[in-house]
Amino acid sequence: MASVNEVYSALKNLANKDERGFITPKVFNTFTTVAQNKIFNDLFNELTKAQTLRARNVDAKMHHSYTKRLEEDLAYFSKESNISQANGVFAKPDDLARIISMKSSGAYVFGTSTSTPIDVMYDESKIEYILQSDLSAPSASHPVAIVSNDIEVFPTTVKKIKVKYYKYPEGRNVSTGARTALSPRYNATNLGGSNEVFDPTTSVDFELPDHYVPTLILEIGKMIGINLRDQEVFAYTSGEAQQQKQ
């Protein structure tokens, strides 16, 4: 995953080069979540563009495919949750960003699942029309869900659902790489003045894949007010990568 130490160190050094002064961990940490969420949301727009290229047969093939890379990156944030009905509705997961699919909870009987796919809708006027229609009214075999502040499923006899969705990115443990609900943050032991030593035990890495390090540097740099250019960030991160290999 994208190293918070690498992103912070790059910004600190590039800020000195840009004569913007010293970036403190406190200032840096106020922008990590905002920047990561922006890049995450941008992935969906980029995926739409990539799928358009694929439809026109101008996307690259196999592992060079931009569409495939975006789909793989979004797969990091795919999650499934079982939800029970309460007071006639289903509460959305706290970390839900976008719904992928929904189905009623079922069991496997003789190797066959009894769960049923649920059509997901967001237009309340359309669901009202469907509910009043004799031809398209929801049934146990063709349930429909309306998503707003919560989730309503029709018919109301559906008491449990399974929602597959993209969750908002959070953080990763620096030492183990395990997921954590904590936001990305850089912490260090101060040795006096501007001298500090990175503290991996209290820091949290980004959950975005590591190839988003340059994008994170650019996004946080813009938020802090550093005048960065793509080639500067690329040159810096390339140099850092080469040093780590030596």
Q: Which domain does 201 fall in, by range?
A: 4-72+168-245
Domain boundary among 116, 135, 167: 167
95 shares a domain with 45: no
Query: Above 50 in pLDDT, residue 65?
Result: yes
119 shares a domain with 55: no
Domain boundary among 112, 143, 167: 167
174 shares a domain with 100: no
| pLDDT of res. 242 | 46
207 shares a domain with 138: no
141 shares a domain with 83: yes
Average pLDDT, the chain: 86
Confidence of residue 246 (pLDDT cuts 50, 70, 90): very low
CA distance 159 to 115: 12
154 shares a domain with 103: yes
Query: Above 60 in pLDDT, residue 239?
Result: no
pTM of the model: 0.82
Domain count, the chain: 2
199 shares a domain with 83: no
| pLDDT of res. 217 | 92
φ, ψ (nearest 5 deg) of residue 164: -100, 130
163 shares a domain with 133: yes
153 shares a domain with 175: no
38 shares a domain with 65: yes
Confidence of residue 110 (pLDDT cuts 50, 70, 90): low
Higher pLDDT, residue 231 or 79: 79
Q: What is the largest CA-CA distance in the chain?
A: 75
pLDDT tens-digit map of 2-41? 999 999 998 988 877 756 567 889 999 999 999 999 999 9
Domain boundary among 139, 167, 195: 167
- The percentage of residues in the chain with a pLDDT greater than 70, rounded to a whole number, is 83
Rounded to 5°, angle at Cα 172 from 34 and 78 = 80
201 shares a domain with 158: no
| pLDDT of res. 245 | 38
Confidence of residue 227 (pLDDT cuts 50, 70, 90): low
Query: Above 50 in pLDDT, residue 244?
Result: no
pLDDT tens-digit map of 122-172? 998 888 888 888 777 899 889 999 999 999 999 999 999 999 999 999 999
Confidence of residue 115 (pLDDT cuts 50, 70, 90): confident
| pLDDT of res. 241 | 42
CA distance 99 to 96: 7
Token readout for 97 is: 């960003």
172 shares a domain with 227: yes
Neighbours of 194 (CB within 10 A): 10
